Structure 1
Amino acid sequence: MSPRRFATLSAFALLTAGAGAALAEGPLTPYEVRAGDTLYRLAQRYLESPEDWRALARLNRVSDPKRLPIGATLLVPADRVRGVARHATVLYLKGLVVAAAPARELQVGDELPEGTSLRVHEGAFVGLGLADGSTLHLPARSQLTLERLRQSDGIGGARNTLRLDRGRVDSRVRPQPTGSRFDVRTPLAVTGVRGTSFGVALSEDGARTVSDVIAGRVAVAADELPQAPVALSAGQGAVTESTTQAPRVLPLLPAPVLGAAELRVERLPHALALAPLPGARAYRLQVEEEAAGTDGQAPARVLFDAVAPGAPPPLSGLPDGEYRLRLRAIDAEGLMGGEATARLRVKATPIAPLARSPEANALVGVGRLALRCTEVPGAIAYDLQVSRDPSFQHPIAEARQSGQCAFEVPIAEPGALHWRVASVARRADGALDRGPFSDPSPLTLVPPPSAPAMPQAGDDGQSLHWAGVAGHRYRVQLASDEGFTHILQDLEVDQPSVRLDLQACRPYFVRLRSRSPQGLDSPFSAPRRVGARAGLCSHDGVPVRSPHGVDWDTQPR
């Protein structure tokens, strides 16, 4: 071995001697000595203070700070590496999110330097992007300070330190280079990672910190026990309730079962159909843009974020489009469980009309089925489907109607039916856009009641009666001609009898229609000629009277 090589190895051994003892002083990052390096220059260029050369000398047992073997490795206290200050960028937000010092309401695109404190108000949320591609998401009622946002400047790695004082922060951390640190601190615990997807939350009373991991690994330590962290893998969580006691490690709840890889929503608000998950006290539902990347790390704009007890919160406020849905259950400790994901397609506009008539579950006579629905502003046409089954797998009638939402459909066979309608609008590019169908409206087609029997006239010719059916009403029409082009009376009666005001010596025609208790009308009966009792009539249909002004048929005999 050459003397130079021996000298280098000896110097390296000297520099790294005692490194094991130094580990107790905090995290260390290695640095390879280059030509021209001295402890003075390294401290001035890379560390928080030029006086930090003394700490370097003690840590590495260097007797001459001006003589460092090229290629040797120094151990540097990571907490003292200055780095280059970076900023966080507001990727998306909803609602009121304010930053302190100076106080201002945040907007998308704002750049936030380290030291910025954020407060997320009720009903709001915000997403931040860091310089290395990592992202943060803060839900409603959260408060976070960006204590340190530093990138490497030739020594060590990145140093990102967040302080959570209220609420929750979800982090998707890009894999960090050797020597990097990404820490989330609360008053009770420190959660550190080098690349993972995890969340940290502080209870409302500040007495509990929970950390949950859905990808990668994290280390969680009580605030006063930084050298005794517990390791968490994906599917595990930690609960810290004291600054002097190690966190409790618990398994996370499994991901809820959504039942399909793609969900379609045609009406908002929309409640997810979900089987209850044992142990779940609440659910968190998020919806983000579909273009989030396949690795789950690319920034994705969150559009919906809500928590509800007992069942997932209903979806609302989403425009038509394709999204990614994320659902997690929350246990009694406050830990969020595994994440269920699905593609989400929302097509809720133009909104569907409402059925007007017939009413749901109505009995309707066979024949021409009249269907009416409400008009929708902006719609230029309406599409109708009629089916024997509520799933509309095989519609028996389909039609499009411009203008009014009204249809006449000939259906001769009785039985159960379902009908639904959709609005059709014109998009800005001129193309037609049909919205979702309305909820099916059921009805039953039944044969109409039979026409009443031919009415019988009373002795005076003024009264009529016929065989009736219990509960039926009757329509009586009186006309001067058999074709009923000149209707003289149109009556409705509850009993199968009627008395008419007929003039003698004039022909009349009567016909009847029966209406069932369900409102179904029978056909009209065949016309019957009726008339008032008369004696002698003139050729022009006028009763012949006596010299005393009495009709001949009424004189005493």
Structure 2
Amino acid sequence: MRYLPTLLPLLLCLPHLAQATDAEEWRYSVQRGDTLWSIARQHLRSIAHVPALQQKNVIRDPYVLTPGSVVRIPTQWLRQHTGKATVTDLIGSASLGDGKQQTALVNGNSYPLQAGHTISTGPNSQLKLLLEDGSLVSIGANARFTIQQAVHYPSTGANATWLNIERGSVDSHVSKNPLMPNRHTIQTPSAITAVRGTIFRVNVDGDSRSATEVSEGLVEVSAAGHSEHIGGGFGSVTRRGEVPGRSTALPPPPELGQLDGTQAFSPAILHWPTVAGVSRYPLQLLRTAPERRIVGDTTATTNRSYPALDNGEYRLLARSELDNGLQGRVASQNFRVHAFPTPPLVVSPAPDARLRGLDVRFVVSGDAGSRYRLRLARDAAFSQPRLHDFSRQDNRLTLPEGGHWFWQIARLDASQQAGPYSQTYRLQADTGWWRASHYRGTPLSARPYPLANARYQLRLTQLDQPQAPLQLDGDTPRWQLAERLFPGRYRVSYRVTTPDGYLAQEPDDILLID
């Protein structure tokens, strides 16, 4: 593991410090010109420790030390100060309090970690703290923990921290200090977790159960007079009043790489392969642009999720969870939602229409101010598309030449940006009057969703006549009405459902028939 950049200046300015072999002791390598008195003035809390230091190391003359020899110094004698932490990333809200007053934490600010103070996070929140030793602590939503101890040793750059977690989850990336091991202890209502240089996670579920999951290094979990050593890739569950559970292999993370990078539908369609032996998938959705915020923390019982999302950039974070509650490493995948404005309902031209000439009229849903973008090409891949913007009042187009054409339509938003396109339609132009398409009734076509066993429901309600709503249903979003629709204004409602719980209700629209 690479040493964190914050340790590099320390390594350069103190090359003579030797690595400690015990957490309660620092082994100092003597340099030319050192004396016990100079060592005490530079590194100890008081020069009054010199006689005890001389006795502990069996040194005859405190003024005469052999360069390269080792002086053993108890850590409690080392110069130290109350540790502090810098907020490197805060989404949502978090506060630091002493029981009487709460201070809202702010990104980029540093705060002292006083013993007895508490740190709390709000719902849909995430907090990352950088400690002075380079360790990183990530705290999930609705968490609360008390600082039992936070000490920093400036001579070595090491920390000794003790956190008492009441609820929530804490991910810790404890840096490896080559000069003196960092001590990081987390106490839960059911167990104590102690580490020296590792990556691990503790999740507290109420006051009766805690889970420890280790990604790298070695963790010791103690409870009820027993200890369990947990290595990288393993975890342990401890229940209040019981000994720690046996070390169990953690499940692999979900494979999110198959998710579509652009989601053209809302709810978004998020599927991933199942993970063997996994019963649940804890999920977190983070909106990354245009603003950063957590939009959901859920647990899926299957390998899919259907969150209703606005247009924007997102990151999905997912873990695999075993029946005993242990979770594996987090997997993440970025994606973009481009679902609005939704494509219009298409009345004309009908799918696979044949035109008598080159003139085509587009009749689609939308109010008087709606504008659209037509994408037209000779091939279904739209390798050389022609783009044409039009409105409901100016909806006629003359094709450049006859033959087969493929087309898609999208609605423009207020800034004239196109939403997702409809499915691909085909038409044939300039085929002769005897081959032109003639429809006695009214064809209607909405966009399909890429979902198995989807059901499509279309509802047309005439606004200016007291007619019963027309309700259409099918396993494809295409309908051919036997009769023509009466002229007038219709409210269009479009709904898509699947047996596994997907439900999309697209925004109501207006269809004008003249």
Normalised by the shorter chain, which TM-score bucket?
0.5 to 0.7
1:150 is displaced (CA, Å) by 3.7
Does residue 69 (structure 1) correspond to residue 65 (structure 2)? The answer is yes
1:167 is displaced (CA, Å) by 0.9
2 CA distance for matches of 1:213 and 1:175? 15
- Matched to 1:177, the amino acid is P
User: What is the alpha-carbon root mean square deviation over aligned residues?
Assistant: 4.8
1:337 is displaced (CA, Å) by 1.1
Distance 1:373 1:438, change over 3 A: farther
- Matched to 2:374, the amino acid is L
Q: What are the residue-to-residue correspondences of 1:212-361 with 2, within 5 Å? A: 212-214=213-215, 216-223=216-223, 228=227, 230-233=229-232, 235-241=233-239, 245-260=243-258, 263-286=261-284, 306-310=297-301, 311=303, 314=306, 320-321=312-313, 325-342=316-333, 344-346=334-336, 348=338, 351-358=340-347
2 CA distance for matches of 1:195 and 1:76? 21
Q: Which residue of 1 aligns with 2:11?
A: none
1 CA distance for matches of 2:394 and 2:132? 59
Does residue 371 (structure 1) correspond to residue 371 (structure 2)? The answer is no
Q: Which residue of 1 aligns with 2:112?
A: 113
Q: Which residue of 2 aligns with 1:94?
A: 91
- Matched to 2:137, the amino acid is L
Q: Which residue of 1 aligns with 2:420?
A: 437
TM-score, normalised to structure 1, is 0.59
Does residue 163 (structure 1) correspond to residue 151 (structure 2)? The answer is no
1:329 is displaced (CA, Å) by 1.4
TM-score, normalised to structure 2, is 0.63
Distance 1:209 1:151, change over 3 A: same
- Matched to 1:393, the amino acid is A
1 CA distance for matches of 2:92 and 2:62? 57
Contact 1:168–1:201 (8 Å) recurs in 2: yes
> Relative contact order, CA 8 A, sep 6+: which one is greater?
2
2:482 pairs, out of 518, 529, 535, with 518
Q: Which residue of 1 aligns with 2:210?
A: 209
Q: Which residue of 2 aligns with 1:385?
A: 375
**Segment of structure 1 superposing worse, 144-153 or 132-141:** 144-153
Deviations 1:372-413 (A, max 9, x none): 243699x8x532236899xx5248975422455974467999
2 CA distance for matches of 1:422 and 1:166? 47
Deviations 1:4-55 (A, max 9, x none): xxxxxxxxxxxxxxx99xx6xx64332234623159947x9535x8887788
1 CA distance for matches of 2:295 and 2:279? 20
Overall identity of the aligned pairs, in %: 19
Q: What are the residue-to-residue correspondences of 1:53-64 with 2, within 5 Å? A: 60=56, 62=58
1 CA distance for matches of 2:213 and 2:234? 6
1:421 is displaced (CA, Å) by 0.8
Deviations 1:245-273 (A, max 9, x none): 35421111112122448723345542411
Paired residues in the alignment total 408
- Matched to 2:300, the amino acid is P
Name the larger-Rg structure.
Answer: 1
Contact 1:220–1:247 (8 Å) recurs in 2: no
Q: Which residue of 2 aligns with 1:83?
A: 80
- Matched to 1:37, the amino acid is L
- Matched to 1:437, the amino acid is P
- Matched to 2:110, the amino acid is E
Does residue 29 (structure 1) correspond to residue 26 (structure 2)? The answer is yes
Deviations 1:278-319 (A, max 9, x none): 33333234567999xxxxxxxxx8756623231565556677
1 CA distance for matches of 2:112 and 2:49? 25
1:169 is displaced (CA, Å) by 0.7
Deviations 1:304-348 (A, max 9, x none): 662323156555667745x66542212222222133344x24253
1:106 is displaced (CA, Å) by 2.8
